Amino acid sequence: MRNAFAEEVTSLAADDKRIVMLPADIGNRLFDKYKEKFPDRFYNCGVAEADTIGIAAGMALCGLRPIAYTINSFITTRCFEQIRVDVCFNNLPVIIAGVGGGLSYSPLGVTHHSCEDIAIMRVLPNMTVICPGDAFEVRAAIRAALKHKGPIYIRLGKKGEPLVHKEIPDLKIGKGITIVDGKELCLLSTGNMLPTAVNVGEILKSQGISAKVISIHTVKPLDKALLSDIFAGFELVATIEEHSLLGGLGASITEWLDEQQMQKVQKAKLLRFGTRDEFLYKVGEQEYARKYFGLDAETISKKIYRAIK
Amino acid sequence: MEDTLHITSKIRGKVLEMAHKAGVAHLASALSCVDILAVLYWKILKIDPNNPKDPNRDRFILSKGHAAMALYATLAHRGFFQEELLETFGKNGTSFAEHPDTGIAGVEAATGSLGHGLPLGIGMALAARIQQRKYNVYALLSDGECNEGSVWEAAMFAPAHKLENVAVIVDFNKWQATGRSTEILAIEPLADKWKAFGWSVYEVDGHDLNQLFETLTKLPDGSGKPVAIIAHTIKGKGISFMEDDNNWHYKAPNEEELNKAKKELGL
């Protein structure tokens, strides 16, 4: 995803002179082409996330479209107050892009894990939260973000994730994208779990269960119209995210369901897959970490099978 | 400077009235920076109150947002909005919070949490470079604010990019909320710190209008560096029984104190 991000920003910056890249001492070589083409719109802000966000906000106050970029856990939790005050309170079109969403950087240890970022970003007024499902959604997300008038958080994975789309999809902020059609249950995936969600659908299909798979790339604002249809039309809905069960996509849907109680539209039961409320003290590769939290396709499909049969 | 001197008394009087009526804190912090604001708004900043969003305007950021009363009174006197609007200060539903936000004409950034103004100002100064505009950016910080790490992150950034169109003014009144700013953390030697970080540093009497003007008018000063002005000030300046008394960080004047203070100002 990160290569697609760098390529897409480089491509868009040719026409959009408002774009300024503000990495916080990360992306060695990743932005070489960008720097070569647009040296006047590239500032490495150093290992200084608070300053990076403030600079981005100052630029946005002057009509530019800065993109603050570093590792997810640093660009969200380290400078949360700058995001809250400088970007969100001033309601500025700053793109905050984090690389290494969820457990992408699992072997690097808990300092580099990012399983709380969706929760703390989505709670901020004016903020939009986008978690692209593959490299094509990354490109579409940046294009959409540059047309948006307020703050946006884009949660990237790492590099080399499997592609789900065949081309850049028509991504509208706040509108889910159906990946696979199905009848019996619906899988709502956000971010880098999308390929896993597709795998889960395939496993279930081999067991005679028809699952719809939707990419909920925008966690905030939620696609409420889509959710209404899904919860009225299916027996079971499962959310899948590489993020804490506290505060992420699943949690935001439970909040929405709570609001819907009086309208009695709900038919479906909700199963939520995410990371438990704990740090991973014994680390390993991303696949290892996902298995530890029950976020591998086999574990998810087994649990869904048991719930529906 | 005679005219500006007259203005500082009027601003101080307004600030005292606001603090009294609303019963709010930070009066002494507001009084210490009135002279700096007056010189900036009447003598230095290229601004037009009738066109507050002019893209070529100079920018001023009150990074020490708790001195909002001084900024509000300054902006009103300078014609950004009618002074009567300040009557809503401290009342329910007002736009004039105890810390400023951009909903008010002339306010460049929402501040109130310390350590934000300089990074914002650097972003604005870089925007001038990118958009090929000629304006200066001034950020007014408190000495207590220099406790914040983000100030020093920003302090390292600006010289690295030879950002000459940004200036920091530290309202060095030697107090912060709960004690002497020189004792709570080791901020001294403050001027040397800014020098060591790569800034062109000036020390001035923050209540001497001529000295403030002479220094502020230099920006950019030709050194190829951003400018830091350490303005030595007195907290509660202008009112004899408030000067250098940190109780007035939180205390608001009663009617008797207000009248006494206004009398001292010749109002």
How far is the C-alpha of A174 from the C-alpha of A226, rounded, in Å?
Answer: 10
The answer to whether residue A171 is domain-embedded is no
The answer to whether residues A125 and A201 belong to one domain is no
Nearest chain B Cα to A52, which residue? Answer: B119
How far is the C-alpha of A177 from the C-alpha of A164, rounded, in Å?
Answer: 12
A280-303 pLDDT, tens digit per residue, is 999 999 999 999 999 999 999 999
pLDDT given for residue A265 in this prediction: 65
Q: Name which of B60, B101, B134, B153 to mutate to probe chain A: the one with the most chain A Cβ atoms within 10 A of its Cβ.
A: B153
* SS3 call for B248: helix
Flag if B123 and A50 touch (Cβ within 8 Å). no
Domain B37-234: CATH superfamily is: Thiamin diphosphate (ThDP)-binding fold, Pyr/PP domains (3.40.50.970)
How far is the C-alpha of B120 from the C-alpha of B139, rounded, in Å?
Answer: 9
Instruction: Identify the CATH number of the domain in which residue A223 sits.
Output: 3.40.50.920
| pLDDT interval class at A264 (50, 70, 90) | low
Q: How far is B98 from chain A (nearest CA, A)?
A: 15
B85-138 pLDDT, tens digit per residue, is 999 999 999 999 999 988 899 999 999 999 999 999 999 999 999 999 999 999
Pick from B265, B248, B208: which is nearest to B29 by CA?
Answer: B248
The answer to whether residues A20 and A141 belong to one domain is yes
How far is the C-alpha of B128 from the C-alpha of A246, rounded, in Å?
Answer: 42
A102-142 pLDDT, tens digit per residue, is 999 999 999 999 999 999 999 999 999 999 999 999 999 99
Pick from A94, A61, A96: which is nearest to A76 by CA?
Answer: A96
**Which tokens belong to B221?**
């000063």
Predicted TM-score (pTM) of the model is 0.96
The answer to whether residues A149 and A16 belong to one domain is yes
Q: How far is B185 from chain A (nearest CA, A)?
A: 21
The answer to whether residues A63 and A139 belong to one domain is yes
The answer to whether residues A232 and A92 belong to one domain is no
Pick from B196, B141, B192: which is nearest to B166 by CA?
Answer: B141
Q: How far is A120 from chain B (nearest CA, A)?
A: 19
The answer to whether residue A126 is domain-embedded is yes
Residue where the block lists tokens 């049969």: A309
| Residue A149: domain span | 2-155
The answer to whether residue A15 is domain-embedded is yes
Specify the DSSP element, H or E, that contains A185. strand A185-189
Query: What residues pair up with B227 in beta bridges, in sequence order?
Result: B167, B200
Specify the DSSP element, H or E, that contains B205. strand B200-205
List chain A residues with CB under 8 Å of B110: 85-86, 89-90
The answer to whether residues A151 and A182 belong to one domain is no
Flag if B123 and A55 touch (Cβ within 8 Å). yes
How far is the C-alpha of A237 from the C-alpha of A257, rounded, in Å?
Answer: 12
pLDDT given for residue B4 in this prediction: 83
Domain final residue, candidates A155, A189, A209? A155
**Which tokens belong to B147?**
């406790």
pLDDT given for residue A200 in this prediction: 98
Q: How far is A37 from chain B (nearest CA, A)?
A: 14
Nearest chain A Cα to B104, which residue? Answer: A90
The answer to whether residues A202 and A303 belong to one domain is yes
* Chain B residues with a Cβ under 8 Å from any Cβ in chain A: 55, 101-102, 108-110, 112-113, 115-116, 118-131, 149-150, 153-154, 156-157, 160-161
**Which tokens belong to A237?**
């809905």
The answer to whether residue A193 is domain-embedded is yes
- Exposure pattern of B106-120 as b/e (b: 16+ CB <10 Å)? bbbbbbbbbbbbbbb
Following CA atoms A131, A136, A138, A143 in sequence, which dihedral angle do they give, to the nearest 10 degrees? -120
Flag if B122 and A62 touch (Cβ within 8 Å). no
A146-164 pLDDT, tens digit per residue, is 999 999 999 999 999 999 9
Looking at the partner chain, which of A40, A41, A58 has a beta carbon nearest the beta carbon of B119?
A58
Q: Is residue A41 within 8 Å of residue A51, measured between CB atoms?
A: no
The answer to whether residues A148 and A183 belong to one domain is no
**Which tokens belong to A84?**
């809250």
pLDDT given for residue B69 in this prediction: 98
List chain A residues with CB under 8 Å of B153: 46, 48, 50-51
Residue where the block lists tokens 């004409």: B105
Nearest chain B Cα to A22, which residue? Answer: B123
Terminal Cα distance for chain A, rounded: 36
How far is the C-alpha of A61 from the C-alpha of A89, rounded, in Å?
Answer: 12
Flag if A89 and B110 touch (Cβ within 8 Å). yes
| ipTM of the prediction | 0.96
Nearest chain A Cα to B157, which residue? Answer: A45
Instruction: Identify the CATH number of the domain in which residue A126 sits.
Output: 3.40.50.970
Average pLDDT over residues A199-219: 98
The answer to whether residues A106 and A28 belong to one domain is yes
| pLDDT interval class at A267 (50, 70, 90) | confident
Specify the DSSP element, H or E, that contains A177. strand A177-180
Say how many domains are in chain A.
Answer: 2
pLDDT given for residue B1 in this prediction: 78
The answer to whether residue A85 is domain-embedded is yes
| pLDDT interval class at A260 (50, 70, 90) | confident
Q: How many CA atoms lie within 13 A of A6 on its CB side?
A: 21
The answer to whether residues A243 and A273 belong to one domain is yes
pLDDT given for residue A263 in this prediction: 67
pLDDT given for residue A43 in this prediction: 97
How far is the C-alpha of B164 from the C-alpha of B225, rounded, in Å?
Answer: 5
The answer to whether residues A227 and A120 belong to one domain is no
The answer to whether residue A246 is domain-embedded is yes
List chain A residues with CB under 8 Å of B156: 46, 48
The answer to whether residues A151 and A6 belong to one domain is yes
